[in-house]
Amino acid sequence: MDAIISHDVDHITVWEHRRDLILPKHIIRNCIEFGLKYITLDEVAGRLRDIMRNKWNNLEALMQFDKEKGIPATFFFGMQNGVGLSYALQDAKPWMEKATEEGFPIGVHGMAFERLEEMRKEFDAFAALTGLGGFGIRMHYLRRNAETLINLEKAGYRFDSSVQQLASPYRVSDLWEFPLHIMDGRILCRNGRWQDQTLEQAKDSTKALLEEAVKRGIGYFTILLHDRYFSDSFRTWKQWYVWTTEFLRDNGFKFISFNDAIEELEDVHAAH
């Protein structure tokens, strides 16, 4: 079984949220997690420093880590605002360019999931901004309806990874769907919107999912870490990601990108 790592970019700066409720919700979350003793005072202080520095992404550090570890992670960037995603394209573009320069695939963090014409606008905006083709998408908050996948295929996407299901990749017409198997928030926030798991509990949950995936013969295991959590201000989250990548490598998993996995799948399909 191979591992596909990806990162959704939900935030770039703090002040992009000056007109929404993300910042006060973040402060309330910090108080709850500290009160429940899932985070330390150092983490609380670190998160406050991030606010003062107007920095809510850890893209540079995460790219450096993934590159050093040989992980061809895909970074998904939003093309429009909504549901807590508030950054401007001009703020995202330098990071998209840096990811590409560092050799990482990039894709769309989709907002539109109901209307084909809106999906096409996001696709066209990304293609025009990057000059890329053959890219994929993950929906923000994994939102979709019965028509989303077929409309993504009509819009021109090569793959999607928005269906949270312990299953193998499958085709929807010419679109490849890579079900999302592990998302950081579902591992560390099991019972609500704030952290309620220790590192050891997160490790146990991850091992259990990996073991079940092996039993089911799933060939490509997908994992999502939001770049914001690759920080000592979110210590458990960062430690979980570092441990997960080491655990995968130590147990013989190969890291692969979505597009390289598609090429392997299509070769197998053609052979049959």
What mean pLDDT do residues 124-148 have? 97
CA distances from 31 to 27, 34, 145, 233, 240 (A): 6, 5, 35, 14, 22
| Model confidence pLDDT, tens digit, residues 182-217 | 999 999 999 888 999 999 999 999 999 999 999 999
Percent of the chain clearing pLDDT 70 (strictly above): 100
Residue 22, pLDDT score? 95
Average of per-residue pLDDT across 8-28: 96
Nearest by Cα to 9 from 68, 74, 75:
75
9 has a pLDDT exceeding 80 = yes
212-224: pLDDT as tens digits:
999 999 999 999 9
Return the domain boundaries, the chain.
2-271
pLDDT, position 185: 96
DSSP the chain: -EEEEEEEE--S-SGGGTTSSHHHHHHHHHHHHHHTTSS-HHHHHHHHHHHHTT----HHHHHHHHHHTT---EEEEESS-BTTB---HHHHHHHHHHHHHTT--EEEEE---S-HHHHHHHHHHHHHHH---S-EEEEGGG---TTHHHHHHHHT-SEE---B-S---EEETTEEE--B-EEHHHHH-SSSSS----HHHHHHHHHHHHHHHHHTT-SEEEEE--GGGSSGGGHHHHHHHHHHHHHHHHTTPEE--HHHHHHHHHHHHHH-
pLDDT of residue 268: 82
pLDDT in tens, 47-96: 999 999 999 999 999 999 999 999 999 999 999 999 999 999 999 999 99
Convert the pLDDT of each residue in 226-238 to its tens digit: 999 999 999 999 9
pLDDT given for residue 65 in this prediction:
98
- Position 269 pLDDT exceeds 90: no
Please tell me the predicted confidence (pLDDT) of residue 83. Answer: 96
Strands 175-177 and 220-224 come out as: unpaired
Q: Does residue 43 have a pLDDT over 80?
A: yes
Which tens digit of pLDDT belongs to each residue from 162-176? 999 999 999 999 999
pLDDT of residue 270: 77
Q: What integer pLDDT is reported at residue 271 of this predicted model? A: 78
**Class of CATH domain 2-271:** alpha beta
Average pLDDT, rounded, for the chain: 97
pLDDT average, residue stretch 126-147: 97
Is 214 in contact with 2 (CB distance < 8 Å)? no
pTM assigned to the model: 0.97
pLDDT confidence tier of residue 181, bands split at 50, 70 and 90 = very high
